[in-house]
Structure 1
Amino acid sequence: MKGKSVGAIILLLSLGFGCAQLSLSQKVIPLNEVKAVPDHTPVWNYEGWVIARGTMHNHTTYSDGCRTPEDLVQLARNQGIAVLGISDHREGEMCLGKNFCYPVGGVDSKKVGYKKYYEHISALAQESESPIILFGIETAPYIWIERRFGTVLGSGANNHFTSWGIYDPEIYERMPARKIMEWKVEKNPGVEPYEKWVNYIRDNGGLVFIAHADIADDSWRLILHHKAVAPNFMIPQLLRLTGVALVPDAMQESAKPGGWWDQGNIQYLAGFREEPLWGWGESDYHCDPTPLNYGNTYFYLKEFSRDEVFRTIKSGRMIAVSGEPMMETYVSEFSIGDGKPASEKIMLGQRLKLSSAPVIRFALSKEIPVQEIRLIRNGKIIYKTNKTNFEYRDEDALKDKMQSFYRVDVVGPEPRSRIFTNPIFVAWK
């Protein structure tokens, strides 16, 4: 029993040592600067749209961030953020069995708790006209041990999701996310515990995005070896997932033409998903020097309000933006017309029925250097240009009368500079 106790303590220390996701270590860094002029434009008003720069998936001192919630809000104002999503880590303590628990600094703990966290963030949201503040939680629903002889092989700690739109702390308290790991070797559970968790959040009115989906892990923390493939393989299996954080950490596999994101929307066309799979940008901010515009979401709003932000998320009226060269431009047109150019310029997320060849138009709000702009239909590139605007008539789609989705991928001049639109869906009369 003594050996088991010592082993459990060492393992729990390993889980809490040096890990950005599960960590006690946090140094509060006060923010002393209030800028009169923000670093970037927070809001553009364009042809009846309020285009708001947003940053999702950000951390405070409630988990492993270095900024208090108040300072994070001011940092957002300094950097030109109009919509700020705060989603601290759920994991407040890790337990091996019922008797060996160790605090790791997240919300679900005796020190904090969901009620205290929610009330604090909600009070800030009530006080703040801009940025609009969204309350969320980042969760690793299931962690297990695959080997424990000599060194311990742990899995699941990098399978992270952010959830939004839930305002009852008790719903989070009851969610089916693992708090206790068994002190025994377990088989890989597959997607089942993640599906159970996603469905629970959706059944209770929440939205769920998979975070940093292309990031694998092969790291050591004392005696714990954590090795896991990137969680992007779960995207087509989680049929009620709201969306994928495309930038900055899912551009290589999930967001590539024909990648996991496209596969999810092909499932939607085929009737396997009830809803489209949307894409957005996240910053996953913990501390400087990473800025809050490391990955942005631009929300196309009819009015500047929190309720409208959620309507926009649910309808896919948003784009994912990454990289400094892209920070002062936005998509000023992405439309599909029935045999001719559409009169409406912004049609992100819309579902259309056509009788003639789709005419796709795209434009950025200003000229910027780009390597390539790609028009993608059903996961395949059908047109490429290095101009910041184009018009393309898709006769092949008319000939085959295929149900389709179209999206645009803008490849900027630097490796991480990208813009991804959400898709427009086309069926036939």
Structure 2
Amino acid sequence: MGNRNHTSGNGRVTPARGRSVRKPAGLTARGFRMGAGILFLMLAWMAEPPGLGAEEYRKLEIAADVKSRFSDGCSSIQELLTQAEVRGLDGLIFGDHDRKSIQYGVPYLERVLRIKMDSPSLLSNGAATFLSEINQLDQSDDTVVLVPGVESAPFYYWQGNPLDGNLVAHNWDKHLLVVGLPSSLDYDEIPTLNSSFTTRYMKDNLFIFLIFVVSTIVGLRGFMGKSWRRTYLLFALVMALFAANTHPFKSSPFDPYRDWGVEPYQHLIDYANSKGAMVFWNHLETPVAEKIDNSLFDVHTRTERHPADLLVTRGYTGFQAMNETPVTAVDPGREWDQVLRMYLIGAREKPVWGYGANDFHCEATGPNKLGAVRTVLLAKQKNRASVLEALRAGRMYAVKHKQDPLRLSLDTFELVDSATGQRAVMGETLKTKNSPDIGVRLSTAGANPSRAHLRLIRNGQVVKQAVLNLPYEGVWQDPALDLSRPAYYRLMVEIDDQHQLVSNPIFFDPGTLGQPGLALARLEPSPKPASMPAAPAEPQAAPPSVPKEKVTAPKIQPSKPEAAPQYAEVTARGVRLRKGPSTKFPVAGQAKKGERLVFVRRTKMMYKGKAWIIVKQNGNQAYVWEGLVKVQ
């Protein structure tokens, strides 16, 4: 009755709610508190079995594949950080070009008698400077996480004849994004054509080089004699040319005068993996045909669509699944699903993830605006290590939107074993033999509710389609799921062609994931949705109440009070201001002796014991060596 105690399932007697507890005789206050604490911990453990609850993640909105002035971008690292803060971004992943150099040479002496065309690139401006700038700003600002990366076109090959006017460099714009290289030396040694000297391939080229070197020495010794001097001299000169042409210090083992297929790209993927970095295929479906300015003869470049490279290369982390232009490799049954199915049956060691590439160059003139395409990560913390960990694990989705407030938001996408409480989110695997619940919660960030078309894809087949009022929340079951075979689920959502979302897969493993020889259902190119219970009918009056994200521009606190700025007075005549911390960068302006420039900060780039500093001239940021100014 009212004073009756309740007996718990484990036989313990617990006092009725609302009643006081009398301490047993002889029990001290300290002992009573300790016993109560142990009882509380035991009850908490019984309520939530350890290891079965979903780990808490935070959403980080990242703009990936961002170009700076270190290659063909328009903004400095500092300016991009400020732009990211205004756009409400949590991080930037840079993708500056490693080396933009193309050269054509005379046959058999193509590395000596050549025409070379270069554009600004990360390696020409200095990888050490690039990393120093990013690391310094990342450590001094906790609002936006900055992650260095590099976009590489490791290979191209020539076809045609310059005399006929049909010379074409194929695959000039076939790119891989490399993220997470640990040092500037690793950037310098990226295996790409026309780059830095390296001894990595010396063994393969040393023998023929030594033959020509020895021949040159023989010719010179003959020239020192009394007869046939001109012949020996000509012989020595020719052998010296061949020696220079075959030197073993190549930056790539591939020559650009034949088509090597995917070998150069697989070689770069293997190199990045050996350094602990990640590699993503970029621009798989953006054909490019351009003409390069050259005074001697016409040079054209051509890059065709190449989504099939997802199937014939291995070891890469992921690919660009979202861009300003359509990416058909993410459509049901296409290349992405084919690769994921290979992982299910053990034909691939790892799954492949999709990310959203911003491909940002210039805010004013470029077609893509900063943050128009975002990669939304589920990260443990807001720092570089957590961003890289989430990126590698595939806990992310890609979203595209115009420069308006409307943006799709995937608030929940998970598989849940209701019997055990286990759950898995994007990039994770739910290990169970029970049929999982599929939980989805969608909303729109920064705009009024809207309607969206959703497709749920299992193993490359569309198993559910629905037009939903947003915000939406639902839990589905898939009765057609074969509980004896592994599977994955992923989502595609769109409001229109400018507002789309693509999730990464969640895997279901009944204990057979990765088993060789496992048979899956045949993959149809244009699948018909399988039978699946529809989502609960939505009332017409109002959609379910789901908290919406409020997008607001963060307040940027100036590092110094505006009323008392610090100045740098120019101490030399005609000082050139640069767009980066090196004389390799283009000139941004000129300052006269005695002119006072607004001092912003010192960089870690040193020259003759003094740092390169950032200043402002007429409101525009630039770099100048501290040896030419006096900071007041």
Asked if TM exceeds 0.5, the reply is yes
1:75 partner letter:
Q
Work out whether residues 54 and 84 of structure 1, in 8 Å CA contact, stay in contact via their aligned partners in 2: yes
Cα gap change, 1:342 to 1:423, in 2 (>3 Å): farther
1:214 is aligned, of 282, 285, 305, to 285
Question: Which residue does 2:455 correspond to in 1?
Answer: 374
1:172 is aligned, of 181, 187, 201, to 187
For residue 65 of structure 1, report the CA deviation from its aligned partner.
Answer: 0.6
1:295 partner letter:
V
Task: Give 5+ residue unaligned stretches, structure 2.
Answer: 1-54, 105-109, 196-251, 512-632
Work out whether residues 214 and 249 of structure 1, in 8 Å CA contact, stay in contact via their aligned partners in 2: no
1:54 is aligned, of 62, 75, 79, to 62
Q: Of the two, which has the highest radius of gyration? A: 2
2:263 is aligned, of 192, 195, 205, to 192
1:402 is aligned, of 479, 482, 485, to 485
1:338 is aligned, of 385, 400, 417, to 417
Question: Which residue does 1:16 correspond to in 2?
Answer: none
Q: Deviations over 1:169-220 (max 9, x none)?
A: 11121221112799x9833211111001111001111001111221112333
Work out whether residues 341 and 359 of structure 1, in 8 Å CA contact, stay in contact via their aligned partners in 2: no
Q: Runs of 4 or more off by more than 6 Å in structure 1?
A: none
2:128 is aligned, of 115, 121, 132, to 115
After TM superposition, the score normalised by the length of structure 2 is 0.56
1:348 is aligned, of 402, 411, 426, to 426
Q: Deviations over 1:103-152 (max 9, x none)?
A: 3111122xx12222222222222222120000011100101112223221
CA–CA distance in structure 2, aligned partners of residues 56 and 269 of structure 1: 28
Question: Which residue does 1:31 correspond to in 2?
Answer: none
Trace 1:190-339 onto structure 2 (pairs within 5 A).
190-222=261-293, 223-249=298-324, 251-289=326-364, 290-324=368-402, 328-338=407-417
CA–CA distance in structure 2, aligned partners of residues 220 and 248 of structure 1: 24
1:424 partner letter:
I
2:82 is aligned, of 63, 67, 74, to 74
Question: Which residue does 2:72 correspond to in 1?
Answer: 64
Cα gap change, 1:264 to 1:372, in 2 (>3 Å): same
Question: Which residue does 1:135 correspond to in 2?
Answer: 148
Work out whether residues 60 and 379 of structure 2, in 8 Å CA contact, stay in contact via their aligned partners in 1: yes
CA–CA distance in structure 2, aligned partners of residues 64 and 77 of structure 1: 22
For residue 242 of structure 1, report the CA deviation from its aligned partner.
Answer: 0.3
Residue 428 of structure 1 pairs with residue 510 of structure 2: yes
Cα gap change, 1:56 to 1:411, in 2 (>3 Å): same
For residue 282 of structure 1, report the CA deviation from its aligned partner.
Answer: 1.5
Cα gap change, 1:343 to 1:267, in 2 (>3 Å): closer
CA–CA distance in structure 1, aligned partners of residues 453 and 508 of structure 2: 24
Question: How many pairs are equivalent?
Answer: 378
1:68 partner letter:
S
For residue 369 of structure 1, report the CA deviation from its aligned partner.
Answer: 2.3
Identity percentage over the alignment?
23
Work out whether residues 201 and 208 of structure 1, in 8 Å CA contact, stay in contact via their aligned partners in 2: yes
Cα gap change, 1:193 to 1:63, in 2 (>3 Å): same
For residue 370 of structure 1, report the CA deviation from its aligned partner.
Answer: 3.5
Cα gap change, 1:80 to 1:398, in 2 (>3 Å): same
Question: Which residue does 1:11 correspond to in 2?
Answer: none
Q: Deviations over 1:262-287 (max 9, x none)?
A: 22211211222221101111211101
CA–CA distance in structure 2, aligned partners of residues 251 and 391 of structure 1: 29
1:404 partner letter:
A
Task: Give 5+ residue unaligned stretches, structure 1.
Answer: 1-46
Q: Deviations over 1:47-92 (max 9, x none)?
A: 9432111000001111111111111111111111111111211114
CA–CA distance in structure 1, aligned partners of residues 421 and 332 of structure 2: 25
Superposed CA RMSD in Å reads 2.5
Work out whether residues 146 and 188 of structure 1, in 8 Å CA contact, stay in contact via their aligned partners in 2: no
Tell me the SS of whatever aligns to 1:397: coil
CA–CA distance in structure 1, aligned partners of residues 118 and 466 of structure 2: 52
Question: Which residue does 2:568 correspond to in 1?
Answer: none
Tell me the SS of whatever aligns to 1:330: strand
Residue 416 of structure 1 pairs with residue 491 of structure 2: no
Cα gap change, 1:98 to 1:124, in 2 (>3 Å): farther
CA–CA distance in structure 2, aligned partners of residues 277 and 342 of structure 1: 27
Work out whether residues 172 and 302 of structure 2, in 8 Å CA contact, stay in contact via their aligned partners in 1: no
For residue 326 of structure 1, report the CA deviation from its aligned partner.
Answer: 8.0
Work out whether residues 363 and 370 of structure 2, in 8 Å CA contact, stay in contact via their aligned partners in 1: no
CA–CA distance in structure 1, aligned partners of residues 506 and 421 of structure 2: 13
CA–CA distance in structure 1, aligned partners of residues 473 and 77 of structure 2: 40
Question: Which residue does 2:103 correspond to in 1?
Answer: 95
CA–CA distance in structure 1, aligned partners of residues 262 and 502 of structure 2: 27
Residue 157 of structure 1 pairs with residue 140 of structure 2: no
CA–CA distance in structure 2, aligned partners of residues 310 and 132 of structure 1: 11
Work out whether residues 245 and 281 of structure 1, in 8 Å CA contact, stay in contact via their aligned partners in 2: yes
Work out whether residues 340 and 359 of structure 1, in 8 Å CA contact, stay in contact via their aligned partners in 2: no
For residue 329 of structure 1, report the CA deviation from its aligned partner.
Answer: 4.5
Tell me the SS of whatever aligns to 1:396: coil
CA–CA distance in structure 2, aligned partners of residues 57 and 131 of structure 1: 15
Question: Which residue does 1:84 correspond to in 2?
Answer: 92
- State which drifts further: 307-316 or 335-344: 335-344
2:122 partner letter:
V
- State which drifts further: 168-177 or 246-255: 246-255
For residue 409 of structure 1, report the CA deviation from its aligned partner.
Answer: 0.6
For residue 426 of structure 1, report the CA deviation from its aligned partner.
Answer: 1.0
CA–CA distance in structure 2, aligned partners of residues 226 and 102 of structure 1: 13
Cα gap change, 1:102 to 1:220, in 2 (>3 Å): closer
Question: Which residue does 1:389 correspond to in 2?
Answer: 473
2:69 partner letter:
T
1:59 partner letter:
K
CA–CA distance in structure 2, aligned partners of residues 343 and 353 of structure 1: 8
Q: Deviations over 1:288-346 (max 9, x none)?
A: 243211210111122211111111111111110101478555222111123669665x6
CA–CA distance in structure 1, aligned partners of residues 453 and 420 of structure 2: 23
After TM superposition, the score normalised by the length of structure 1 is 0.82
Work out whether residues 355 and 398 of structure 2, in 8 Å CA contact, stay in contact via their aligned partners in 1: yes
1:175 partner letter:
I
- State which drifts further: 319-328 or 58-67: 319-328
Work out whether residues 118 and 167 of structure 1, in 8 Å CA contact, stay in contact via their aligned partners in 2: no
CA–CA distance in structure 2, aligned partners of residues 186 and 178 of structure 1: 12
Cα gap change, 1:342 to 1:250, in 2 (>3 Å): farther
CA–CA distance in structure 1, aligned partners of residues 96 and 256 of structure 2: 29
2:193 partner letter:
R
CA–CA distance in structure 1, aligned partners of residues 273 and 190 of structure 2: 11
CA–CA distance in structure 1, aligned partners of residues 430 and 405 of structure 2: 29
Work out whether residues 398 and 501 of structure 2, in 8 Å CA contact, stay in contact via their aligned partners in 1: yes
CA–CA distance in structure 1, aligned partners of residues 321 and 431 of structure 2: 28
Tell me the SS of whatever aligns to 2:392: helix
For residue 95 of structure 1, report the CA deviation from its aligned partner.
Answer: 3.2
Tell me the SS of whatever aligns to 1:395: coil
Work out whether residues 209 and 241 of structure 1, in 8 Å CA contact, stay in contact via their aligned partners in 2: yes
CA–CA distance in structure 2, aligned partners of residues 385 and 246 of structure 1: 22
CA–CA distance in structure 2, aligned partners of residues 234 and 201 of structure 1: 17
